[in-house]
């Protein structure tokens, strides 16, 4: 009964509707795939400018993250914590802070991480988990680009601009698809030989 093996284009607005203020949204990404720009646009659309906090986690950001988490909850803002795979030892503290919060109904926390074996399992179990990856195939990539820009934007374009948009979307889709090819070996002088499409 399946019409297509490929899944529909992931919309963060749909994830937002399924989420609650007491449940973190955990996005599992691949290297080089960062959904924070889409989350930022969604936050600006739903909450307004400046009502979200974004922190790229790394050494020394833990105290800032905890204070920002409390501030975001108090004000009903959104908070995005990126690169959690770099601070796996700190995640039990984050989990404790989340459990101690009396969540504001407008508050949302978005957690972005690459796959990591040492990631805190309890935090993962208590989160709404989403695999965020580039769509497979040129067609799906094109559909995602058009979905992200929205039908209102595309229909408002003049015919020449719509063609240019389509060409840029195709180029983007081809480049995204090309990234999935893995180098197949090394040449005589140590250079890597990649498969040709």
Domain residue limits, the chain: 12-132, 138-181
Q: Would you say residue 192 has pLDDT above 70?
A: no
Residue 8 pLDDT > 70: no
Q: Phi and psi of 115, rounded to 5°?
A: -60, 135
Helical segments of the chain, H only: 12-18, 36-46, 62-75, 91-100, 121-125, 138-149, 151-156, 159-178
pLDDT digits (tens, 9 = 90+) for 17-29: 788 888 899 988 8
Question: 95, 26 in Cβ contact below 8 A?
Answer: no
Quick: pLDDT tens for 71-118.
999 988 989 999 999 898 999 999 999 998 888 888 888 899 988 888
DSSP output for 149-177: H-HHHHHHS-HHHHHHHHHHHHHHHHHHH
Reported confidence tier of residue 197, pLDDT bands at 50, 70, 90: very low
* CATH code, residues 12-132: 3.40.50.300
> DSSP code of 194?
P
| Cα Rg, the chain, nearest whole Å | 20
User: Of the given ranges (6-20, 97-111, 138-152), which has the lowest mean pLDDT?
Assistant: 6-20
């Amino acid at each position: 009964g399946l019409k297509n093996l490929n899944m529909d284009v992931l919309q963060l607005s749909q994830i937002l509707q399924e989420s609650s203020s007491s449940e973190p949204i955990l996005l599992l990404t691949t290297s080089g795939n960062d959904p924070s720009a889409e989350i930022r646009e969604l936050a600006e659309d739903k909450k307004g400018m400046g009502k979200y906090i974004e922190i790229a986690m790394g050494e020394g950001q833990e105290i800032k993250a905890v204070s920002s988490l409390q501030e975001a909850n108090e004000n009903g803002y959104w908070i995005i914590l990126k690169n959690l795979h770099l601070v796996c030892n700190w995640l039990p503290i984050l989990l404790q802070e989340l459990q101690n919060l009396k969540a504001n109904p407008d508050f949302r926390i978005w957690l972005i991480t690459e796959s990591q074996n040492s990631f805190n399992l309890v935090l993962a179990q208590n989160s709404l988990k989403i695999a965020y990856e580039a769509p497979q195939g040129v067609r799906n990539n094109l559909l995602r680009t058009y979905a992200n820009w929205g039908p209102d934007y595309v229909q408002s374009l003049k015919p020449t601009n719509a063609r240019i948009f389509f060409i840029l979307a195709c180029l983007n889709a081809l480049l995204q698809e090309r990234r999935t090819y893995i180098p197949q070996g090394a040449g005589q002088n140590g250079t890597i030989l990649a498969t040709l499409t």
